[in-house]
Structure 1
Amino acid sequence: MEKVLSKQKIPAINSWSLKEELKLVHIKVCGITSEEDAFQIAQTNIWALGFIFVEESPRFINPDKARQIIWNLPASIVKVGVFRNHPLEDVQFVRSFCSLDLLQLHGEEPPQFCEKLGRNVIKAFGVDESFDPSVLEDYAKVVDFYLLDSAQRGKSGGLGIPFNWDKIKNIKKQISRPLIVAGGLRKENIVACIQALQPFAVDLNSGVESAPGKKEARKLVEIIQILEKEVKK
């Protein structure tokens, strides 16, 4: 995990102020589908780029194309592969083939599945009205990050809407892994999300797009500028 966590230390829960949160939060942009988008976004010096290998997703990218993009990205950018209920051998193959730094599991993968992958795993959980935060700690010994995303009618991820942050506002006191927050994050709500949940990272997707799979670097720059402005207040 040295490469992934080397940029910034994670402060103790009780030491956070809003300005510290904004300074420390990492940014991941998910759903990269083109070389042009990847390179433009990489110039903003964000933490990570995500490549979705789920065929049903409008942001699906095949491993051959992802590999070509990843090979030409700066080493400082963390490369994340997103999977949903894939066979173990498929995940392992794509991880090696594309030189992925992190694996993000967005399905119903049990802890035993995560353990077989070794380290550098993000486990995603969909948050709806029935969400029970205690399930996260079932994975504490086998994953490196928790990711929370919006869920509706059994579907999670890619919905483009935020979940109810109030439902999990005290979750940092209950978990032992860094928290990544996704789900409809955009310039209008990014500061409120960070203030409410104090995450290690925010995961941006539709909020920095002009269309599904088409990233717009200008929107990402606007978000970064908003965060910088808040820090300077």
Structure 2
Amino acid sequence: MRTRVKICGITRLEDALYAAKCGADSLGFVFYPPSPRHIDRENAAHIIAKVPAFVTTTALFVDADRTEINSVISTTRIDLLQFHGDEDSTFCESFNRPYIKALRVREGMDILSEAAAFQSARAILLDAYVKGVPGGTGSSFDWHLIPKALSSRLVLAGGLDAENVATAIQQTQAFAVDVSGGVEAAKGIKDAEKIRRFINEVNRVN
């Protein structure tokens, strides 16, 4: 099975179009104001309107209120929601959109038990735990902690780049990989060559 690729933290149209051209399956937009990759819904809508067919768009939230999420959905027509905070499954399910739930992996965590609370999620994204930072840390975690039973629902994130993504896929058999900082020239500004190399590495290992 081919590993899917999500390029997250898109803030510029040229980055979105280049990632799609290289074969990205999904583009991520961060609606979390403290993030250096934050984008407002109007700018996101402008980019999303020009994304080619069959490339999924994903909105990332961290404990956002219902009004804000609904506003993003109505303005951008986003395809998929991604929740990185303390949202429970009832909240995640309530927007009439498919969703991904992110979990931050730390030593001693029962990953399968926590994932089981989100049976309705299209996937479970695993990222590194860094205190006070809900995602986009650029840090990896011990992939041996990931249960093999989760691989068909697993989106792997955290510190991925062209140098380690092949090993990550071989070790975890993840359904998809999610990268942001690993393909950037600066926070929120993507590097075309890094995007190309990252996606080429995913295709190579597949």
Equivalents in 2 of 1:30, 1:97: separation in Å?
19
Please tell me whether residue 94 in structure 1 is matched to residue 72 in structure 2.
yes
Report the equivalent of 1:161.
139
| 3-state SS, counterpart of residue 92 of structure 1 | helix
Compared CA separation, residues 31 and 147, structure 1 to 2 (3 A): same
Partner of 2:174: 199
Map 1:113-192 → 2, pairs under 5 A: 113-133=91-111, 134-140=113-119, 142-168=120-146, 171-173=147-149, 175=150, 178-192=153-167
- Residue 225 of structure 1 corresponds to 200
Runs of 5+ unmatched residues, structure 2:
none
Q: State the aligned residue count.
A: 205
Of 40, 49, 55, 2:18 maps to 40
Task: Tell me: CA distance 1:226–1:176, structure 2 relative to 1, closer, same or farther (3 Å).
Answer: closer
- 4+ long deviations beyond 6 Å: none
The percentage of counterpart residues that share the same residue type is: 38
| Aligned 8 A contact 1:144 1:177 in 2 | no
CA contact (8 A) 1:144 1:178 kept: yes
1:60 aligned partner, one-letter code: H
- Highest CA radius of gyration, 1 or 2? 1
| CA-CA distance at 1:154 after TM superposition | 4.4
Question: Once the two structures are superposed, what CA deviation does each residue of 1:79-131 show, in whole Å capped at 9, x if it has no partner?
Answer: 00000000123212211210100000010001111121234100111111242
Q: Distance in 2 between matches of 1:41 and 1:146?
A: 23
Normalising by structure 1, what TM-score? 0.83
> Which residue number corresponds to residue 88 of structure 2?
110
Three-state SS of the structure 2 residue aligned to 1:135 is helix
RMSD: 1.6
- TM-score for both structures, normalised by structure 2: 0.93
